[in-house]
């Protein structure tokens, strides 16, 4: 029986596309951008690049923007990276359905947790701005424990904190490797969120969803499947 559901943050509970669109005017103010491109067009290119290269690194995203004519002069990667960090710490757009979904799970008596790769200050700032910080029973930020997803150890840490067995836990995330494969190797059930352009079907999740609104129903389906196998 499932007793806990643990989540990833970016592209799962935190709307990176909405945030990138909100930050686009600041991008134009900070860097020399093509005046022939509208804010909407730049945001479209930025979101596409984020979808396609988010698991490869921000340097790939910057290269895509440069190759597609967003900038009129070369942009230093370190400056771009600092800009993204600073603005993600000022602007964070939640999925509006994330908090109601988490409260639904808690109302059913399920424990909820969060595991996110990154540094403490930035990830907690996102949680504060999105209003999600205090809904979780436990939070692990990889920078605090010096273990990153997909290392199975970080998933086992969370199970221990929540007081549940890995087989009683569902992990929900968008990254086929860091989220799905890592959690599965630790013995957790997995739900893959198809929120980016990455093809993750080969990672063999227990269930797939377009966004986290589907999670309560999918947790029920995993429970039923487990019961039928007994």
80 lies in the same domain as 104: no
* CA gap 1, 189 in Å, rounded: 11
CB distance 86 to 122 below 8 Å: no
Supply the pTM of this predicted model: 0.88
Of 62, 88, 114, which residue sits at a domain end? 88
Beta partners for residue 111, in sequence order? 4
For the chain, 230 residues long, give each residue's pLDDT as a single digit of tens. 999 999 999 889 988 889 999 999 999 999 999 999 999 999 999 999 988 887 788 899 999 999 999 999 999 999 999 999 889 888 888 889 999 999 999 999 999 999 999 889 989 998 998 899 999 999 999 999 999 999 999 999 999 999 999 999 999 998 889 999 999 999 999 999 987 767 666 678 999 999 999 999 999 999 888 777 76
Helix ranges restricted to H, the chain: 16-30, 39-53, 58-67, 77-88, 98-107, 120-130, 142-145, 152-162, 182-185, 215-228
Q: Are residues 42 and 111 in the same domain?
A: no
Residue 181 is given by DSSP the state I
Phi, psi angles (nearest 5°) of residue 191: -130, 125
Pair 11, 26 in one domain = no
Do residue 11 and residue 28 come from a single domain? Answer: no
Residues 73 and 168 in one domain: no
Domain containing residue 224: CATH number: 3.40.50.1000
> Do both 122 and 153 map to the same domain?
yes
d(CA 87, CA 79): 12
10 and 25 within one domain: no
Look at residue 53 in the predicted model and tell me its pLDDT. 87
Q: Are residues 115 and 207 in the same domain?
A: yes
Domain's final residue, options 88, 118, 141: 88
- Picking from 94, 16, 93, the residue whose alpha carbon sits closest to that of residue 53 is 16
3-state secondary structure of 178: helix
Quick one: 77 and 119 in the same domain? no
Q: Are residues 134 and 213 in the same domain?
A: yes
Q: Which of 189, 219, 191, 156 is nearest to 13 (CA)?
A: 191
* CA 202, chain centre distance (Å): 19
Count: domains in the chain:
2
Separation CA 119–CA 108 (nearest Å): 31
Judgement on whether residues 101 and 183 belong to the same structural domain of the protein? yes
Q: Where are the alpha helices (DSSP H) in 6-76?
A: 16-30, 39-53, 58-67
194 and 122, same structural domain? yes
Burial 182-218 (b: 16+ CB within 10 A, else e): bbbebebbbbbbbbbebebeebebbbbbebbebbbeb
What domain range is 74 assigned to? 16-88
Q: Among the three residues 88, 108, 123, which one is the final residue of a domain in this structure? A: 88
């Amino acid at each position: 029986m499932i007793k806990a559901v643990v989540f990833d943050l970016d592209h799962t509970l935190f709307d990176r596309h909405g945030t990138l669109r909100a930050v686009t005017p600041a991008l134009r103010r900070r860097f020399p951008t093509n005046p022939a491109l509208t804010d909407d067009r730049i945001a479209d290119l930025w979101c596409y690049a984020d979808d396609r290269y988010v698991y490869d690194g921000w340097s790939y995203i910057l290269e895509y923007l440069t190759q597609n004519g967003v900038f009129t002069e070369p942009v230093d990667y370190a400056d771009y990276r600092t800009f993204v960090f600073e603005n993600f710490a000022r602007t964070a757009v939640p999925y509006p359905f994330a908090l109601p979904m988490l409260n639904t799970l808690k109302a059913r008596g399920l424990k909820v947790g969060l595991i996110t790769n990154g540094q403490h200050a930035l990830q907690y700032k996102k949680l504060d701005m999105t209003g999600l910080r205090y809904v979780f029973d436990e939070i692990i930020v990889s920078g605090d424990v010096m273990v990153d997803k997909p290392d199975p150890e970080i998933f086992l840490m969370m199970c221990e904190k929540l007081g549940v067995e890995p087989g009683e836990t569902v992990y929900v995330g968008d990254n086929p490797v860091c989220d799905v494969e890592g959690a599965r190797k630790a013995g957790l059930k997995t739900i893959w969120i198809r929120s980016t352009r990455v093809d993750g079907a080969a990672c063999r999740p227990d269930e797939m969803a377009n966004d986290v609104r589907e999670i309560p129903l999918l947790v029920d389906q995993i429970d039923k499947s487990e019961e039928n196998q007994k």
